[in-house]
């Protein structure tokens, strides 16, 4: 699939748009979702330009899932979680809204999840949660 380098996450990766970051290395970025489905909703993205999981280089996918696990463990510790939903939407037909592959870590239950990317979260609260997650990493 053709990659649009003007998509929101590509712009966040280039620091053209702000994000509340919790983890970054040379291959992966993790940051807070701006319209969280639950408190602590975090996104993990590879830096390589891929629209969906199906387009992502397998070695980048393998590395990204290691960071997904690392961030999930920090979230579990920092926010005292009993469960986390790992969600990955590939394709607009699946509900994907941002065309840069990403993994959602949502402190919730599959039974609670509704529509996403609907309502802006409270910036101050999101920053507080991010600080806790960062401290646990």
Provide the Cα torsion 60, 63, 68, 70; round to 10°.
-160
Of 108, 97, 112, give the one whose Cα is nearest residue 42.
108
7 to 66, contacts with ligand 5GP by CB under 6 A? 8, 19, 31-35
91 binds ligand 5GP (CB under 6 A): no
| Residue placing its CB nearer to ligand 5GP in the complex, 8 or 61 | 8
Three-state DSSP class for residue 92? helix
| Window of 21-29, 58-66, 73-81, 90-98 that interacts with ligand 5GP by CB under 6 A | 90-98
Query: What minimum distance in Å lies between the beta carbon of 36 and ligand 5GP?
Result: 7
Q: Is 92 in the site for ligand 5GP (CB under 6 A)?
A: no
Strands in 28-32's sheet, in edge-to-edge order, are 21-24, 28-32, 42-46, 103-106, 85-87
Q: Which of 41, 100, 102, 104 is catalytic?
A: 102
Question: Is residue 102 flagged as an active site residue?
Answer: yes
Tally Cβ neighbours within 10 Å of residue 80.
Answer: 9
Q: Which residues bind ligand 5GP (CB under 6 A)?
A: 8, 19, 31-35, 89, 95-98, 116-117
Active site residues: 102
């Amino acid at each position: 699939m053709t990659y649009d380098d003007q998509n929101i996450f590509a712009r966040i990766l280039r620091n053209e748009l702000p994000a509340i970051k919790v983890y970054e290395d040379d291959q992966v970025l993790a940051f807070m979702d701006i319209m969280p489905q639950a408190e602590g909703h975090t996104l993990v993205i590879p830096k390589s330009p891929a629209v969906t999981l199906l387009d992502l280089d397998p070695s980048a996918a393998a590395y990204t899932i290691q960071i997904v696990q690392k961030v999930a463990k920090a979230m579990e510790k920092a926010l005292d979680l009993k469960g986390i939903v790992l969600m990955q939407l590939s394709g607009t037909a699946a509900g994907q809204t941002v065309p840069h592959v990403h993994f959602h870590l949502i402190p919730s239950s599959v039974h609670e999840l509704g529509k996403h990317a609907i309502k802006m979260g409270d910036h101050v609260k999101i920053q507080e949660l991010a600080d806790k997650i960062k401290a646990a990493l």
